A = this chain, B = another copy of it.
Amino acid sequence: MAIKFDVAGIGNALVDVVAHVDDGFLAEQQLAKGTMALVDSNAADFLYAKLPPGVEVSGGSCANTMAAIASLGGKGAYIGKVRDDYFGQVFRHDMNSIGVEFSNEAATDGPPTGRCLVLVSPDAQRTMCTDLGAASTLGVADLKAGLIQTSRVTYMEGYLFDRPEAQRAFIRAAEYAHDSGYKVAISLSDPFCVDRHRDAFRHLVADHIDILFANEDEIMSLYEATVFDDAIQKLHTEGRVDIACLTRSAKGSVIIQSDEVHVIDAEPVQEVVDTTGAGDAYAAGFLYGYTQGLNLGLCGRIAAIAAAEVISHNGARPEQNLAALVAEKLGPLPIKPRD
């Protein structure tokens, strides 16, 4: 089928409820700072009742990536599950209004739209408790084969791996993409998520993934390495991915394709305000460049610029127009969209 999208993203559709707490609060609630924990709706209600007033804003890792791809000028589609409630309406609006196609119908029964309680501590770190809600019902039946079969890359967030039914959907989506001759990408999302599902992730990476995104902690967790370079060597022998993009926060990133290796510096920022969404934006920058047929070095630069924009303000989605920002920093790009 003719190409209609640069990237189709599959993820947990969530609305973030963002509130500020101090370290004592995290300790009292026995929450490990900087991590994402899955909670059921009772636990979420219990925690929410203890939180100060919050702000609600669309979230979800893969959805954040799609927002950044749209800001770069890429054409995206999103696959995920919400309910026919206010948060579902907000999530859909915020996708559609930036031009990302999101056509899964809202569920008319079952759990409400998923939410992520985001607890911001004084040091700007974020601790997340996610009540997946309707997102927990995502399965093979919700895949939009037509979208996947007309997208240059199908991109999925590792958080989906917390449920077997979503894992199955994941693999089916990869088959749809590959059967149509297109690529499949994944972000490992979280070292604890990798820890919970290490074997499944290793099989997936070895058998179904063309482009892998991971940060240091995640790739070291995947291959049970204690040193970054050991993880790289294991990835080389076991991983069988086409391209690996390994992010290292302020140390920049490493992009590996067979013998071609790019070491990309982090883009300087005046002040790191909030690191949430850095990985999501990085993936967006890379995938935008990749689908536009740019060389890997340029893809990495765009990824670094997108990540720098997102960490320089509160919130996980870009505030500036990323296309303009990239044009300002890199000049005209030699765009030649991939077939």
Contact = CB atoms under 8 A, between A and B. Distances in A.
Query: Which of A86, A94, A317 is most buried by chain B, counting CB atoms within 10 A of its CB?
Result: A86
B86 A53 contact: no
Contacts of A51: 93, 97
**What number of copies of this chain does the assembly contain?**
2
A54 interface: yes
A1 to B, nearest CB: 29
A97 B54 CA distance: 10
Nearest to A112: B86
A263 to B, nearest CB: 34
Interface string A88-119: 00100110111000000000000011000000
Contacts of A87: 86
B90 A56 contact: yes
Contacts of A96: 49
A53 B58 contact: yes
A201 interface: no
A122 interface: no
A57 interface: yes
Contacts of A98: 52-53
A53 B93 contact: yes
Given A48-B93, A93-B48, A53 B85 contact: no
A264 interface: no
Contacts of A317: 53
A214 B43 CA distance: 44
Most buried by B among A56, A67, A98: A56
A55 to B, nearest CB: 5
Given A53-B98, A53-B317, A98-B52, A113 B93 contact: no
Interface of A: 15, 17, 48-58, 67, 85-87, 90, 93-94, 96-98, 112-113, 317
9 contacts: A15-B86, A49-B96, A49-B97, A51-B97, A52-B98, A54-B93, A56-B56, A56-B90, A85-B86
